[in-house]
Chains A and B, each alone.
Chain A
Amino acid sequence: MILLWLIVVLLAGGVFAWLAARSNPLLCRWISLVAIGIDLVLVLGLWVRNFKVSVTGTNNWFEQVDWNWIPQFGIHFHLAMDGLSLLLVLLTLFLGVAAVVASWTEITFGIGFFHFNLLWILAGITGVFLALDMFLFYFAWELMLVPMYFLIAIWGHERRIYAAVKFFLFTQLSGLLMLIAILALYFAHYRATGIYTFEYEDLLHTPLDPHTAMWIMLGFFIAFAVKLPMVPFHTWLADAHTQAPTAGSIILAGLLLKTGAYGLIRFVVPLFPGAAREFAPVAMTLAIVGILYGAILAFGQTDLKRLVAYTSISHLGFVLLGVFAANALALQGAVMTMICHGISTGALFIVVGALQQRTHTRAIADMGGLWATVPRMSGVALFFALASLGLPGLGDFIGEFLVLLGTYQVNVAMAAVAAVGVLTATFYALRFVQRVFQGPNSHPWQLADLMVREGLLLGSMVALLLWLGLYPQPVFRLLAHAVAQFPAIWR
């Protein structure tokens, strides 16, 4: 039941926040925070309760809800949580808080509708991470798009409509491909067993001939690869991230991309281990191309937000690499990268958003020497830039290191080339710090430094990254079960 409440609280919170905004915008923001806060407490409670049992145990799930929904099609309302989904839901809620706080002064009109959309996106994403019925999964997958579209199209920057429509079309087309793949799997299962079901755990054991499996796997893979985004499906990303308001960028980079990665981990490889094995070299090659290409693109950007956006392509390339290397190390690394990328990129978007709110520009050329006027913000930015380039001691390093280690066991050459990607990250991260915060303040800018609200938020993100970098064991404990279940596609 608790899983249902997670979603209901967010949905209801969105409605109440909207209603409250008519009388008092501040109340609306607080309602949003409280709704996400309640969920955070619930999920942390779940973690504490399952702290011991998570390592071993035969039960796959901490918590489940399973009801008949549309019996004519064998559709269930089935939510379930294991260590992987718990971590990602936690990340969702944490970044949800970050998004509300970051838009505290940035959003000045349509406040009620904004928070409504924000909370409904979070509800959709939570649904994606929890759904175990393929139909429900698709339902939640599509559901998060509409409010995200509004977020970009209404509160975005100058080219918001172009970006919003592009985002929507890319994800919708890929989503429909996935729908066809889901249905193909559903009918293949029916033909093999005579049972109509969208149940994940039943579909896991569908006997498929290799040719069919490959086609269905590709349907899923493309849908998730567009979200990830994998080169060459990445072109929507920079526009959407750049044009979205700060909260939108945080959610896009921190969460929406992770739904793609989650799909790969939860569905693509476990449902089609054979096809995944065959496809792995292609996927890993594309991952490496993404790592390098994303880094090069990031290095060349003149727009601050675009720079941060392109780094996501590079980081998510490591996730893709890790998933298809498919051993325990690489998988733990991939999940770790997902979490830490969410936090560090989210934080970078907050910094960039704060800068844009103060300077009304995102052009790197217009900035420089900001360290003198905003020392606290600059320090924090340097920290997150270092996290992003993979400085040991911070969470991102653990993730990427483990992915490389895992890949090395599978393919030495690929690991070596991917390692170059870590190096290229240094270029764009340091260029970002140097161009914006160091050098002469030629403009000259006189800006307000971080406010308490921003400081607290970014401070907590710093603390989280340090914790994940220095003592990641609790995360790996949570993941142990999911990792053990993961099919070993390389032998």
Chain B
Amino acid sequence: MSDDSGLALLLLGPAGGVGLYWALYRYYRNTDKSHAFERETKVDAKPVTGSDLKVGTNNGTRDSEIQGNNVSEYRKRVGRIRNDSG
């Protein structure tokens, strides 16, 4: 057995305990719930337009996805384009 997998096994206890605590905490307190307005509001949208321009490469990385992937984190706000009027 390698050192890495041995260490991972030893983390099983603390990870399992903390994981169980959080899962039950959320089940009772429902702190992670809110109205899913993104899905539950009637939205009429025109087809999405835009552009895709290759600007470089990212070779030899060990990350399985792009750094800071936020494609599904709709509610995490990023920098605002200046001339908007929201």
Real complex partners, A and B? no
